[in-house]
Amino acid sequence: MKEPPEQEGFRVHRQGAMLELIEPERRKRPPFLVGEDFFDFNALETLVRKLVGAREGLAGIRVPFPGGGCTEYLPIEKGCLLALNRNIQSTPELDSFSYRTSDWAALRVRISGFFREQISSTSMTAGEGNASLLYFGSGCRYGLNLTADSPVSGVSLVFHPDIISRRVLGDADLLLERLRGEVTETHDLPHLIAWPGDLVMQGLALQILQLDSAAPVFRIMAESLALSLFARCITLLGSDSVEATDQAVRLRAKDLQQLEVVRKVLETDFCNSHTLEELSRLAGINRRKLTEGFRSLFGTSVGEYAINQRMRRARILLLEGIRVGEVAEQVGYQDQGSFSRAFKRVVGVNPRAFST
């Protein structure tokens, strides 16, 4: 079948079961933006189905990134796409971007790499082994900052909530309520649920990434594993068992704002030691949600985040030629020995070696 020279503003090139789409003029923005600001998942699904449906033996589309790596989109069923992120790397032209989106949800499982993302006004770090379900609500701004030395690989299952009503037996309304979280009279707010160490999701995502796209059963296996991933998500979302409840970290829009308050305190007042009780009172959040939610959002504990902020400032001061003892005092340590041990643990060398 003859390929069209241009399709929806992309140059197309078939590689086995995948159709590679190259956008010649892409700069600091992701593909499939409507205008310069809105990411339309409905339009993305329509495009993927149109391209895949018009060609025999095609499983999905591949969008390469300028710095290396790609995202592959496979249609699963109406209102559901599987996205495979393979070793995506940043470049000066595309190291960060943001857009508005709405209505859909995304189940994300990170296999390798780290990046910083922003949901509305809250920044967070997504790292290896982290699984989370993000509902975009009736509209929110999403941003992403790639890390130059940390290529990202993982799997995302992007779906419209309607699929829950169509595919799930039993009380779909309860599942939709838990997915959406906080709902006001005028709109749905973004809602994040994290399962930081779910080995089932990690295993399914890894199997998907390891599939051979040249194999005759590639599309069948990808769809089967994607539905298994969706089933696992729905099982955890709907479960009231102690195991599932303890594992899940449910973060509503207000929780995200409160945790952002804690992060800002740790970044601006790192010289002073803050107990968990003090931070809980300051942000108006309970201790469990503070500790578990903070780790889910920012990829580390409250204490480690504070230490990293101290060491970040210490590196700057040492490179300016300030003496080790004075640096220790400026970043909140009462004695030089404690500072030196902490610095070596975080940075890998002692302060004197770093400054020479």
Q: What is the pLDDT of residues 254-311, one digit of tens each?
A: 787 788 889 889 988 988 989 999 999 988 988 888 888 887 767 678 998 899 899 9
| Residue 116 confidence (pLDDT) | 76
124 pLDDT above the threshold of 70 = no
55 pLDDT above the threshold of 90 = no
Identify the weakest region by mean pLDDT among 64-73, 163-172, 216-225.
64-73
49 pLDDT above the threshold of 50 = yes
Q: Which structural domains are found in the chain, ordered by start?
A: 11-250 (2.60.120.10), 252-356 (1.10.10.60)
Helices (H), the chain: 41-53, 162-167, 172-180, 199-209, 218-238, 242-247, 253-268, 276-283, 287-298, 302-319, 324-330, 336-347, 351-355
For the segment 213-223, the average pLDDT, to the nearest whole number, is: 92
Among 190, 162, 157, 185, which Cα is nearest to 175's? 162
Per-residue pLDDT reduced to its tens digit, 57-101 = 899 999 888 778 899 999 999 999 999 999 888 776 666 777 788
Among 288, 329, 290, which Cα is nearest to 310's? 329
